[in-house]
């Protein structure tokens, strides 16, 4: 009698029932992990585009030199919040704007830069509703922090 291990066919073709089910589940898990990786990369790209838009608009509105901009990579939500907070604090400090006008400026800049980032996402074909919703939630969080502290995030 020949053993399945001795033939040239892959091992999974010789197994029945539970093992094939487990293999199907592992294939599904690998597919889900690959899909999650793609979603994570798209979110990182979207955050970076949003921060680039925000940075260029703050620089334009407050006439800031490149050396005054905070350095870093906004590839996670926490990094985005940290960099945008530093960006707004530096802009208000160097731009010499008052609190009320600064708050309106922050809100306007966040809205305008998010719209520009969403336009870029659509143009590059990575726009997804859940990704847009994630960015809008982050925008709401930043605006809420501004209102709570009565200053830039």
Task: Tell me what percent of the residues of the chain surpass a pLDDT of 90.
Answer: 22
pLDDT at 100 over 70: no
pLDDT band at 14 (very low <50, low <70, confident <90, very high): low
| pLDDT for 69 | 80
pTM of the model: 0.70
Average pLDDT over residues 104-113: 87
Average pLDDT over residues 112-119: 94
pLDDT at 32 over 90: no
**55 vs 99: which has the higher pLDDT:** 55
Q: What is the secondary structure of the chain as a DSSP string? A: ---GGGSSS-GGGT--THHHHHHHHHHHHHHHHHHHHHHHHHHHHHHHHHHHHHHHHHHHHHT--GGGSPP----SHHHHHHHHHHHHHHHHHHHT--HHHHHHHHHHHHHHHHHHHHHHHHHHT---HHHHHHHHHHHHHHHHHHHHHTS--
Average pLDDT over residues 109-117: 92
Average pLDDT over residues 59-77: 81
Most confident of 50-54, 87-91, 96-100: 50-54
| pLDDT for 15 | 44
| pLDDT for 117 | 93
């Amino acid at each position: 009698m020949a053993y399945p291990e001795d033939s040239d066919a892959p091992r999974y073709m010789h197994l029945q029932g539970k093992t094939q089910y487990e293999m199907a589940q592992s294939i599904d898990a690998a597919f889900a992990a690959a899909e999650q990786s793609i979603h994570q990369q798209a979110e990182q790209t979207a955050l970076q585009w949003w921060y680039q838009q925000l940075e260029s608009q703050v620089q334009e509105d407050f006439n800031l030199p490149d050396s005054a901009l905070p350095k870093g990579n906004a590839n996670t939500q926490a990094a985005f919040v940290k960099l945008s907070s530093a960006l707004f604090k530096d802009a208000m400090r160097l731009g010499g704007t008052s609190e009320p006008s600064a708050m309106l400026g922050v809100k306007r800049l966040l809205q305008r830069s998010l719209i520009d980032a969403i336009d870029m996402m659509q143009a590059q074909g990575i726009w997804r509703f859940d990704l847009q919703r994630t960015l809008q939630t982050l925008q709401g969080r930043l605006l809420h922090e501004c209102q709570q502290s009565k200053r830039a995030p």
